[in-house]
Amino acid sequence: MNTIILTTCSNSTEAYLIKGTLENNGIDCFLTNENFSNLMPHYFNIMGAGIQVMIDESDLEKAQKLISSPKADEIVCPNCNSSNVTFGFGYNKVKKWFIVFLSLFSWVPFGNIRKNFRCEDCKTEF
């Protein structure tokens, strides 16, 4: 029995989702480095920081198949079922720059400006 690192996660939510998936499929695992990563999230990927999902070496192949993320071409638009989907910061860039400017002007941190999926056919963001 040899314990190895399956993957390193940037937050505990992602780590617990992977842990739950593995345990539901009969793979024993545990998390390490969780407290440090929750206290110092900005140190992710520096000096080995990040929440590590540890498994037995004999389960590696099965575990990698379970946690592999879906490919971009498998994602379809919830509005029109088109597979012509891209990933980016969205269409309304003026609104997002206005939010950034307003937050800098008022010294209030702006919310979550993040990337999302966009349908190129019906222009839906999800």
- Residues engaged in binding Zn ion (CB under 5 A): 77, 79-80, 82, 119, 121-122, 124
C-alpha span between 89 and 28 (Å, rounded): 38
In the complex with Zn ion, the residue whose CB is nearer, 87 or 110, is 87
Least distance from Zn ion to the Cβ atom of residue 41, Å: 34
- What angle in degrees, to the nearest 10, is found between the helix axes of 12-24 and 60-67? 120
Nearer to Zn ion, 26 or 70 (CB): 70
Q: In the complex with Zn ion, which residue's Cβ is closer, 102 or 122?
A: 122
User: Is 54 within 8 Å of 18 (Cβ atoms)?
Assistant: no
| Token output for 106 | 């008022």
Cβ atoms of residues 27 and 67 within 8 Å: no
Q: Which is nearer to Zn ion, 7 or 124 (CB)?
A: 124
Q: Are 63 and 27 in contact (CB under 8 A)?
A: yes
